[in-house]
Structures are given as C-alpha cells and as structure tokens.
Structure 1
C-alpha cells in the first residue's frame, strides 16, 4: 500500500465528520441533476458517458448505480472507499476514444477524474447553502480535508487535489469558465430530468405524465437555478427573475421542513443505516 492510500485509510471520515453529517442530506436530491450536469459538461466525461454509458436508454438505472457507488466511498458501504476506488479504476480503464470534435479522451484522465470528485464536494456545499444551514468556514476547511482523503482512497494523487477549499473553489470557477461546454450528454441529462423515460412499458402514458410532470418542473427549477450563470448561458437555458423568486420560495419551504424532520428522515435509508451501525460499533468499542 503506498503512502497516499495508507494516509487515506487512517483518516477517512466517519460519524461526526462534516462529510457524513452533510453529504447525503435528503434535500440533496433536488441538486443531484446539477452535479450530474457539471460532470458531463466536462468534455472528457461527456464523451465517455455518451459513447460508453447506457444513461440515454436507462437513466434511472444509471443514476441508482452512481448513487450506490457514491455511498460506498463516502460512507464506507460494502468494502469501503479503497475497494470502490479499485473498482472504479477497473471499470473506467477501457473508456477512451476520440470525441465528435476530434479530441482524444480517457475516463481516467486525472484532471477529469479530479473534476468529478470536486463536483461532489461542491454539491454538498451548495445543498447546505440553498436548502439548509450553510457550512461555516471551519466546516468548509474540515470538509475539504476529508474529501482529499476520500480522493486519495479513490486513486487520485496529491497534485490533482487542491490544498484547501479556497484553492478548490478557485479551480472550480476556472474549470467552469474555461473548460465546461454544452454537449450531447448535457442535453441527455436535462431531458432525463424534465421528461424522464418510462421505467416500464406497462405503465400507462397518462399516469406516467401525471406522476412526473410536477417533479420535472421542480427539478428543472432547482437544476437550472443552481448552475453557475456562465454555464447556464452556455447551455442556452432560460432563467428569469420569476424563476429566481420561485426557487427562493421553494428553498424556504424545504429548509423549514428539513429542520423539523426527525434524524432518520433527513438521510436516504442506506446512508442512515450506515451512520447508525457505525455509531453503535464505536460505542461498543469504547
């Protein structure tokens, strides 16, 4: 085991960490589309998803697999972050080629791989800022130290992880400004969010529309509204003052509801189950 992996093994976040408390909070589902858009807007990620993924045919299946993968390396589900890192590297080894603009790409390009990791940290920060209690400066510093450790466990190297959150935020802004683009994968994500395909041919079209149209409107509002404005313009997405007011009203309601929920309802069941089991294990060990 190399030094980076040994360090990560010793310091991965657990109960009480900023990451465990904040990452999987339930309101995050409203910004999941934003995180995915930020990822596939990177030319390397977008090309890999377009040419090597089944997202277009089965967006919800793909989203569920991604959710499970994230829980494995954030909360240590299954064999934990190191095992998930090895699995991800193996899965992505063969994802390479030449995109429609003639650019060569490889899914394990360290800059693209690190970008995906950074979007997950940004997702946590944005979810807290919009739908909960914003992370304080000490929490931001601690969160990024924890995310650096997760990144090392996933196979990233020190030089591809910003030293602190201020540098990570500056890098995020630079990538948005200079690298991200509208592409076929971003269009597929937006379509899946706002007009999702039926999961079963046996589900009647009118019923499916009744179930998904309201949710699609909400997800479009939260997704488009939380994108960096420069990227929103690059994707030619309309955003009005009325949309801004609607998002602010929704955020107030979500914050009010979330603060009154009992703890088990503030997290997805899988994540909360891990949190409770690890708490109990540590109490027994004392």
Structure 2
C-alpha cells in the first residue's frame, strides 16, 4: 500500500501564500505596461504593414522621431515643438497659478459663508455647463487677439473647476467636527486652518488636478483661435492644414507626457508635503 505524503508544515503556508501574493502584485503592476506595449506593437505593425495609411495613423516610431527632431529644432521652424511647447507652458502655468489663487480663495469663501453661497451658487450653476473655450469669441472681443485672450480663457477654465470642487469639499465637512473643537475654545482661524481645510483637502487637491486638466484643454483650443503666433495649439492647427499627421501626434505626445509628469511628480510632492504638514500622512507601518 503506497505511503501517503505527510502534509506540509503549517509554518510553510504563510510563506507560500506570501509568494503567491507577491507574484500577483507584480503581475498587476506589469499588466498596464504589457497592454500599452502590445497596443504600440499592433499600431506599428498595422501602419508599417499597410493595413492603415500612415497619413491616417502614422507609426509610433515615426511619431517619436518627429517629436525628437521637433524638440531640437530639426523639423523646421513651423514644427519646432520645443519652441511651441515653451510658449504654451508659460501661458499654462501663468493661467493655472492665477486660476488656482482665485479658485482657492473663492472656494473657501463660498464654502465658509452660507449667505455668500446662496447668493453666488445659482450663477455658478448657470456658468458651469458652458465650456471655457466657448468664451474665446467673447475674450477676443473684449481683450483682443493674442496671448492676453488665451491667458484669460485658461484662467477662467481653472477657476471654474477649482471653485466648484473646493466649495463642495468645505461644505461637506461634518458640522460635528467643528462643534467638537469649539467645545475646547478654539477660535475661528484655528478651526479653518486645522479642521476644515485638512478635512476638505481631498476636494482641494482634486480641484487642482481638474483645474490643470481644464487649463490644458482651454489652452490648446484658445491658441487655435486667438491669433497667437506660437504654441502647441497653433502647431496642431498648422499641421492639420498640411496633413502632417505625425506632427499632430507628436504634439499630443508632448501634452500627455508633460501632464503625466506634473501629476506624478509635481502633485505627488505637494500632496505628500501638505499631508505631513497637517499630520495626515502615515509615518509608520500599521
């Protein structure tokens, strides 16, 4: 009669489950990169193999080559991606900073004052459905052609997103949190800075991210119509006229890379620093 094998020791089970969990975590982390690489490979094969015309869908290798040549100024002045990107980034950051200041101040004021909220909220509800780029004709009539009109549209786009999120975040703070602190004699400044703002931080940070995304969209659209000489929106418009699809995709690549870098590097650092300042960051393992 064959001898049955002895069961594994119970101490081995956690180790094995840990290895399986580690492999699963690794697979989950790699999955997005594998999918992205597979899509790029299929795209490259379809374009190079003639299944899709390069005029309609240029291969990724050509897009990357055009992007690199444009960044160093080897693709001609009209398609100098580095020059156009720098002009766009200056307007983007100027509008985003101005919009962030106005949005944060306005959102906090509306969130803290029920009277002001009741007076202004109907106007916000009326303006919010209107896309920022729809104000481009108005901005050009009031301000004129050129970068001031673009800056105004970008600032408005950022303010509209931020003020809505920050107001909602502050109004969502439970009133019992304020009452609990008031019982210990805390003044209004302490309550705002140490209770309300930390509790509303996820909304504030979300407003910053949405404000940046809205600023990007408004910037590219405004540059196409506001009569500026340089900018990624201008380059996209010119490339479309000449069916330079590789240049169009190169500009889109620059926009995506810059946005991803700002979110993954810039916003991550701000979030960590702010959470540590307010004592909300986890500093030890649980």
Q: TM-score, normalised by structure 2?
A: 0.27
Q: Return the structure number with greater helix share.
A: 2
Higher relative contact order (CA 8 A, sep 6+): 1
Larger Rg computed on CA atoms: 2
